[in-house]
Chains A and B, each alone.
Chain A
Amino acid sequence: MRAPTSCVSLLLCLATPLAGQSTALLFTDVTEEAGIQFHHGFGDQELSNIVEGTGPGALFFDFNNDDYPDIYLLNGTWKAEVNDNRSRNLRGQLTNALYRNNGDGTFTDVTAAAGVGDDGYGMGGSAADYDGDGDLDLYVLNYGPNVFYRNNGDGTFTDVTAEAGLTDPLWSVSAPWLDYDADGDLDLYVANYLEYDEGAFRHFYAAQGYPGPLAYKGQPDHLYRNNGNGTFTDVSEEAGVFDPDGRAMSAIAVDLDLDGDQDIYVANDAMSSAYWVNDARGNFTDRALIQGVAFGEGGQGASSMGPTVGDIDRNGLLDLWIPDMAYGCLLSQKEEGLFADITAEANLAIISGQYTGWGSGLVDFDNDGYLDVYTANGNAHHLYTEEDLLAHNDRSGHFLDVAKDAGDYFQTKSVGRGVAFADFDNDGDMDILVANLSGSPKLLRNDTQNDNHWLTVVPLLANGETVALGSTITVTVGATRSIHPVHGVFGYLSASDPRPHFGLGAADRADRVEIRWPDGEEQLLEAVPANQILEVVQGAK
Chain B
Amino acid sequence: MRNSRSRAVVLTGLAYLLAMAWSVPSAAQPKEPVYVGVRVCSECHSGPGAGHQYSLWRLSSHAKALATLSMPESKEIARLSGSPEAPHTARVCLGCHATAADAEEWERDETFLIEDGVQCETCHGPGSEYMDEAVMRDRELAMERGLRMASPQTCMICHGPKGSHEAVLSTEPYVVETALETIAHPRPVSPPIETSAQGSAAGALRGSSNRRGAGVRGCAACHSGPEMGFQVSRWRMGPHARAYAVLATPAALEMARRSGVDGDPQVSYACLRCHATGAGHDASSFEAGFDSRDGVQCESCHGAGADYSAEAVMLDRPAAKAAGLQEPGPEVCASCHDQGHAGSPFDYEAAVAKIAHPKVPITVGATEPVYKTPINLALSPDGSELWVACESSSTTVVIDTSTHELLAEIEVGGQPHDVTFHPDGRRAYVTNRLDDTLSVIDVEAREVVATIDVGDEPHGVLLDSSGELIYVLNGAQDSVSQIDSATLEETKRLTTSRVPWSLALSPDGEKIFVTNTLSGFVAPRTTPMSEVTVIDTRRGVVEDRFTIPAANLLQGIAWHPSGEFAMITLNRTKNLVPMTRLLQGWTITNGIGLVWNDGRVDQVLLDQPGIAFPDAADAIITSDGRLALVTSSGSDRVAVVDLGKLLALLDAASPEERERVIPNHLAKSTEFVETFVKTGRSPRGITITADDKTAYVANALDDTVTVIDLERFEAVEEIDLGGPELISQTRWGEQLFHSADITFRRQFSCHSCHPDGHVDGITYDIEPDGIGTDPVDNRTLRGIFDTAPFKWTGLNPSLQRQCGPRLAVFFTRIEPFDPEELEALELYITTIPRPPNRYRDLGAPLTEAQRLGKAVYQRTHTNGGRPIPPEGRCINCHPGPLFTDRQQHNVGTQTPLDLEDTFDTPHLTNIYDSAPYLHDGTAFSLEEIWTRFNTYDQHGVTNDLTKDQLNHLIEYLKTL
Q: List residues of A whose CB falls within 8 A of some B CB.
A: 46, 80-81, 84-89, 197-203, 206, 216
B366-394 CB contact bits vs A (8 Å, 1 = yes)?
00000000000000000000000000000
B170, CB-defined interface residue at 8 Å:
no
- The residues in B between 659 and 713 inclusive whose CB is less than 8 angstroms from any CB of A are none
Show 13 A/B contacts (Cβ-Cβ < 8 Å), sorted by A.
Answer: A80-B31, A81-B28, A85-B31, A85-B32, A85-B107, A197-B25, A198-B27, A198-B28, A199-B28, A199-B29, A200-B26, A200-B27, A206-B946
B108-140 CB contact bits vs A (8 Å, 1 = yes)?
011000000000000000001000000000000
- The residues in B between 14 and 42 inclusive whose CB is less than 8 angstroms from any CB of A are 23, 25-29, 31-34
Contacts of A80 in B (CB 8 A): 31
Contacts of A200 in B (CB 8 A): 25-29
B28–A88 touching, CB < 8 Å: no
B287, CB-defined interface residue at 8 Å:
no
B946–A86 touching, CB < 8 Å: no
- A418 CB to closest chain B CB (Å) equals 27
When chains A and B are docked, how far (Å) is the Cα of A201 from the Cα of B32?
16
Looking at A81, A202, A216, which has the most chain B CB atoms within 10 Å of its CB? A202
Query: 6 more A-B contacts (CB under 8 A) besides A199-B29, A202-B29?
Result: A85-B106, A88-B34, A198-B29, A201-B23, A203-B23, A216-B25
Contacts of B31 in A (CB 8 A): 80, 84-85, 199
- A114 CB to closest chain B CB (Å) equals 30
Contacts of B405 in A (CB 8 A): none
- A456 CB to closest chain B CB (Å) equals 48
Contacts of A216 in B (CB 8 A): 25
When chains A and B are docked, how far (Å) is the Cα of A392 from the Cα of B598?
67
- Given the known interface contacts A85-B106, A87-B106, A206-B948, the answer about A201 and B25 at a Cβ–Cβ threshold of 8 Å is yes
B848, CB-defined interface residue at 8 Å:
yes
When chains A and B are docked, how far (Å) is the Cα of A81 from the Cα of B30?
10
Contacts of A85 in B (CB 8 A): 31-34, 106-107, 128
Contacts of B25 in A (CB 8 A): 197-198, 200-201, 216
- A41 CB to closest chain B CB (Å) equals 14
- The residues in B between 838 and 870 inclusive whose CB is less than 8 angstroms from any CB of A are 848, 851
Contacts of A197 in B (CB 8 A): 25, 28
A46–B32 touching, CB < 8 Å: no
- A245 CB to closest chain B CB (Å) equals 15
Closest to B851 in A: A86
Looking at A86, A87, A202, which has the most chain B CB atoms within 10 Å of its CB? A86
Which one, B26, B106, B110, contacts A86 given CB within 8 A? Answer: B106
Closest to A82 in B: B28
- A219 CB to closest chain B CB (Å) equals 14
B28–A46 touching, CB < 8 Å: no
Contacts of B848 in A (CB 8 A): 46
Contacts of A46 in B (CB 8 A): 848
- B951 CB to closest chain A CB (Å) equals 12
Contacts of B32 in A (CB 8 A): 84-86
Contacts of B29 in A (CB 8 A): 198-200, 202
Closest to B946 in A: A206
When chains A and B are docked, how far (Å) is the Cα of A216 from the Cα of B25?
9
- B543 CB to closest chain A CB (Å) equals 41
Closest to B129 in A: A85
Closest to A199 in B: B29
When chains A and B are docked, how far (Å) is the Cα of A200 from the Cα of B948?
22
When chains A and B are docked, how far (Å) is the Cα of A46 from the Cα of B855?
15
Closest to A83 in B: B31
- B52 CB to closest chain A CB (Å) equals 30
- Given the known interface contacts A46-B848, A206-B948, the answer about A89 and B23 at a Cβ–Cβ threshold of 8 Å is no
Closest to A198 in B: B28
Closest to A89 in B: B106
When chains A and B are docked, how far (Å) is the Cα of A84 from the Cα of B34?
10
Which one, B23, B109, B946, contacts A88 given CB within 8 A? Answer: B109
When chains A and B are docked, how far (Å) is the Cα of A80 from the Cα of B32?
11
The 10 closest A-B pairs by CB, nearest first: A199-B29, A197-B25, A198-B28, A200-B25, A86-B106, A85-B34, A201-B25, A85-B32, A85-B31, A199-B28
Closest to B846 in A: A86
Closest to B30 in A: A199
- A399 CB to closest chain B CB (Å) equals 38
When chains A and B are docked, how far (Å) is the Cα of A343 from the Cα of B596?
70
A88–B948 touching, CB < 8 Å: no
Contacts of B106 in A (CB 8 A): 85-89
When chains A and B are docked, how far (Å) is the Cα of A86 from the Cα of B109?
10
When chains A and B are docked, how far (Å) is the Cα of A202 from the Cα of B110?
30
- A91 CB to closest chain B CB (Å) equals 9
When chains A and B are docked, how far (Å) is the Cα of A206 from the Cα of B23?
17
Closest to A86 in B: B106
Contacts of B110 in A (CB 8 A): 89
When chains A and B are docked, how far (Å) is the Cα of A379 from the Cα of B27?
28
When chains A and B are docked, how far (Å) is the Cα of A86 from the Cα of B108?
9
Contacts of A198 in B (CB 8 A): 25, 27-29
Closest to B106 in A: A86
Contacts of A199 in B (CB 8 A): 28-29, 31
- A80 CB to closest chain B CB (Å) equals 8
Contacts of B33 in A (CB 8 A): 85
B320-343 CB contact bits vs A (8 Å, 1 = yes)?
000000000000000000000000
When chains A and B are docked, how far (Å) is the Cα of A88 from the Cα of B110?
9
When chains A and B are docked, how far (Å) is the Cα of A85 from the Cα of B104?
11
Contacts of B851 in A (CB 8 A): 86
When chains A and B are docked, how far (Å) is the Cα of A534 from the Cα of B119?
71
When chains A and B are docked, how far (Å) is the Cα of A200 from the Cα of B25?
5
- A48 CB to closest chain B CB (Å) equals 9
When chains A and B are docked, how far (Å) is the Cα of A362 from the Cα of B631?
83
When chains A and B are docked, how far (Å) is the Cα of A523 from the Cα of B469?
84
Closest to B948 in A: A206
Closest to A216 in B: B25
When chains A and B are docked, how far (Å) is the Cα of A482 from the Cα of B23?
52
When chains A and B are docked, how far (Å) is the Cα of A199 from the Cα of B29?
5
Closest to A201 in B: B25
When chains A and B are docked, how far (Å) is the Cα of A202 from the Cα of B863?
9
Contacts of A84 in B (CB 8 A): 31-32
Closest to A195 in B: B25
- A94 CB to closest chain B CB (Å) equals 16
Closest to B28 in A: A198
When chains A and B are docked, how far (Å) is the Cα of A80 from the Cα of B128?
10
Contacts of B28 in A (CB 8 A): 81, 197-200
When chains A and B are docked, how far (Å) is the Cα of A125 from the Cα of B946?
41
- A137 CB to closest chain B CB (Å) equals 35
- B859 CB to closest chain A CB (Å) equals 12
Contacts of B27 in A (CB 8 A): 198, 200
Closest to B33 in A: A85
B923-947 CB contact bits vs A (8 Å, 1 = yes)?
0000000000000000000000010
Closest to A200 in B: B25
- A508 CB to closest chain B CB (Å) equals 59
When chains A and B are docked, how far (Å) is the Cα of A161 from the Cα of B72?
64
Contacts of A88 in B (CB 8 A): 34, 106, 109, 128
- B102 CB to closest chain A CB (Å) equals 16
Contacts of A202 in B (CB 8 A): 29
Looking at A87, A200, A201, which has the most chain B CB atoms within 10 Å of its CB? A200
When chains A and B are docked, how far (Å) is the Cα of A10 from the Cα of B621?
93
- A86 CB to closest chain B CB (Å) equals 4
- A419 CB to closest chain B CB (Å) equals 30
Closest to A203 in B: B23
When chains A and B are docked, how far (Å) is the Cα of A202 from the Cα of B28?
10
Closest to B23 in A: A201
When chains A and B are docked, how far (Å) is the Cα of A202 from the Cα of B864?
9
Contacts of A203 in B (CB 8 A): 23
When chains A and B are docked, how far (Å) is the Cα of A89 from the Cα of B34?
11
When chains A and B are docked, how far (Å) is the Cα of A99 from the Cα of B948?
44
- B874 CB to closest chain A CB (Å) equals 20
B804-843 CB contact bits vs A (8 Å, 1 = yes)?
0000000000000000000000000000000000000000
When chains A and B are docked, how far (Å) is the Cα of A89 from the Cα of B128?
13
B78-121 CB contact bits vs A (8 Å, 1 = yes)?
00000000000000000000000000101101100000000000
